[in-house]
Structure 1
């Protein structure tokens, strides 16, 4: 199938959600740009509130949202959770949903746009390199650790999809995180290198050459090559239905229709593949000695990545692979019955360790 080949060769890291259940309101209907069901429309005293913030990370201005729990008092101390968004996603989508739900449980939470992406600074736009994405997580921890009311000794982290892979990488060395959780973990290095579900093993060298050629073009001409572009307006129901994997098919619907956000894009610089294809989220994963929770849907075709990470995470004595029956990858982002189960598990996990 021509469309399938194009999608796989682009190495798209899509994160999906299907159908209209939980369909978000138009972006401009929410003053904070939030596009998930039940999003905060206004800050009300005594309830969970949202606080848009900016901070500097390696010379770049990062855009983030901080959520504070009901009855928030700067003179009290609260546990805190850092939330990392999926590849292609922004803080106003699933990362914001889980950040808000955790704030409802009494945590201060933060979700930031990755550097070079979303509303955060960085040129060339759409640069997507593991070092930067890992630094984004360290940077959220840096900022939130000094936020009023935060007990930095009770800090956890939650990474979703691609943010989950980078969260594993960050937790290897960042022991400020006392509890590490992922949802629908996506190992970006493995997928960019091998293709989704190992579908591109025969073209690794060719694609590495394309990536290095793209970097050479950037240096010699200033022209930045982009991979992963998707014209959501051009997608038809028929073309979406022909996508063979749940992740990519449902992702087109989630990101392109039901939870669309103007800052959300699957584009990335082709030269980023030089770093991505030579990186893996599970390299030295045994350095994670904190409690580890890997969560996924039982029907997710991306589940193999969480299982690989779980098996390799031999450095922690407290690890669990938690599956919600019937959920696909993208459905873990928004379907209420699935989200509720994952939030309840996080309540148990963070409650025990933070």
Structure 2
């Protein structure tokens, strides 16, 4: 009886959150995070939609400029890499805006093949592409008016955090490296979340291989991650990451360009990737942040331990936060932003 009552309470809470989210006015910039910019005001933090080519693909990005931005002056800048399935209008937009409020020029872009960026077939999710997206953002923002290319930092969130670690291993334009709720896409796609799929690795690799063969012969593109659970099914998901993730992406902070869907053949590349390898190549200052209650925190811990050559390194634990709550909940976002401002302030002088 207690279990039934708990489940019913969770469902009712879910419905209430959904109803509240659906009454929010639409943002003129398509932004779905709290206190987002609705109109550019001279002298204030402004948002600038931009596009550029990356290996022949059109990339859609947003640049945020700080209060009193003067293109004749020089500002530190931060590149932000979004979570798996996310888009620039969600949590990376929130953090980009908050860092712009602190005096940084920031950029966040939709990954190639995803969001509003180009690339066919849609929703290809290869680690090499995501890492190249980060290099591409650095290419663009270091040429942007007012940016001091010698004071460039990077923040990766969730899956973008894992790809940030890989990008920073080789790209020394990044003078300071930060992650939030880092998600090691390769480890999870290979082993399952919390090592829950260790017995099916070869079976899933065979499925990905067959999907690749079908695509190469002109057949249909097969997708995975296309589940659309009901509110009741979401409430019963046992892990915070996925239960709250479905709520964030499909309900409270939904965006039409955001989806968990990706090509099944992408698993050929995801399952042989690991964000935590070669961490000794990071010689920049490193800050990794995760919630104390995040069931994904083990991935941050694993990577952090291997960063033996970082100039400085710090693991900042956000007390009480789960993985998804660091994306939007003000009390946790404020802690993360405060830490980032301190970290980038010290290392992007």
Report the TM-score range of the alignment, normalised by the length of the smaller protein.
Answer: over 0.9
Q: Secondary structure at the residue paired with 2:60?
A: strand
* Equivalent residues of 1:113, 1:120 under 8 A apart: yes
Q: Secondary structure at the residue paired with 1:41?
A: coil
- d(CA) in 2 for partners of 1:349 and 1:19? 37
- Please report how far the alpha carbon of residue 26 of structure 1 lies from its aligned counterpart in structure 2 after TM superposition: 6.9
Report the CA distance shift for 1:26/1:85 in structure 2 as closer, same or farther (over 3 A): farther
- Please report how far the alpha carbon of residue 237 of structure 1 lies from its aligned counterpart in structure 2 after TM superposition: 2.7
Report the CA distance shift for 1:28/1:133 in structure 2 as closer, same or farther (over 3 A): farther
Would you say 1:192 and 2:189 are equivalent positions? yes
Report the CA distance shift for 1:116/1:28 in structure 2 as closer, same or farther (over 3 A): farther
Q: Secondary structure at the residue paired with 2:138?
A: helix
Query: For this pair of structures, how many residues does the alignment match?
Result: 334
Match of 1:351 among 335, 342, 345: 345
Report the CA distance shift for 1:19/1:48 in structure 2 as closer, same or farther (over 3 A): farther
Q: Secondary structure at the residue paired with 1:109?
A: strand
- d(CA) in 1 for partners of 2:210 and 2:155? 35
* Equivalent residues of 2:79, 2:107 under 8 A apart: yes
In the alignment, which residue of structure 1 is the partner of 2:335?
341
- d(CA) in 1 for partners of 2:136 and 2:252? 30
In the alignment, which residue of structure 2 is the partner of 1:125?
122
What is the 5 A alignment of 1:266-285? 266-285=260-279
- d(CA) in 2 for partners of 1:326 and 1:18? 24
- Please report how far the alpha carbon of residue 223 of structure 1 lies from its aligned counterpart in structure 2 after TM superposition: 1.1
Would you say 1:63 and 2:57 are equivalent positions? no
* Equivalent residues of 2:125, 2:263 under 8 A apart: yes
Superposed CA offset, 1:115-161 (max 9, x none): 00000000010000010000000000000000000001000000000
- Please report how far the alpha carbon of residue 230 of structure 1 lies from its aligned counterpart in structure 2 after TM superposition: 2.7
- d(CA) in 2 for partners of 1:170 and 1:202? 31
TM-score normalised by length of structure 1: 0.92
In the alignment, which residue of structure 2 is the partner of 1:240?
234
* Equivalent residues of 1:18, 1:330 under 8 A apart: no
- d(CA) in 2 for partners of 1:273 and 1:47? 43
- Please report how far the alpha carbon of residue 241 of structure 1 lies from its aligned counterpart in structure 2 after TM superposition: 1.4
In the alignment, which residue of structure 2 is the partner of 1:261?
255
The unaligned stretches of length 5 or more in structure 2 are 1-13
* Equivalent residues of 2:290, 2:317 under 8 A apart: yes
Would you say 1:112 and 2:109 are equivalent positions? yes
- d(CA) in 1 for partners of 2:115 and 2:81? 13
Q: Greater RCO between the two (CA within 8 Å, min separation 6)? A: 1
* Equivalent residues of 2:131, 2:166 under 8 A apart: yes
- d(CA) in 1 for partners of 2:64 and 2:189? 33
* Equivalent residues of 2:21, 2:251 under 8 A apart: no
- d(CA) in 2 for partners of 1:81 and 1:240? 35
Would you say 1:249 and 2:257 are equivalent positions? no
In the alignment, which residue of structure 1 is the partner of 2:292?
298
In the alignment, which residue of structure 2 is the partner of 1:13?
none
TM-score normalised by length of structure 2: 0.93
> After alignment, is 214-223 or 127-136 more displaced?
214-223
In the alignment, which residue of structure 2 is the partner of 1:11?
none
RMSD: 1.6
- Please report how far the alpha carbon of residue 285 of structure 1 lies from its aligned counterpart in structure 2 after TM superposition: 1.2
Superposed CA offset, 1:154-192 (max 9, x none): 000000000000000000000000000000000000000
- d(CA) in 2 for partners of 1:340 and 1:27? 22
* Equivalent residues of 1:27, 1:33 under 8 A apart: no
Report the CA distance shift for 1:119/1:212 in structure 2 as closer, same or farther (over 3 A): same
Superposed CA offset, 1:279-313 (max 9, x none): 10011111000000000100000000000000111
What is the 5 A alignment of 1:4-15? none
- Please report how far the alpha carbon of residue 25 of structure 1 lies from its aligned counterpart in structure 2 after TM superposition: 6.9
> After alignment, is 144-153 or 317-326 more displaced?
317-326
Report the CA distance shift for 1:142/1:313 in structure 2 as closer, same or farther (over 3 A): same
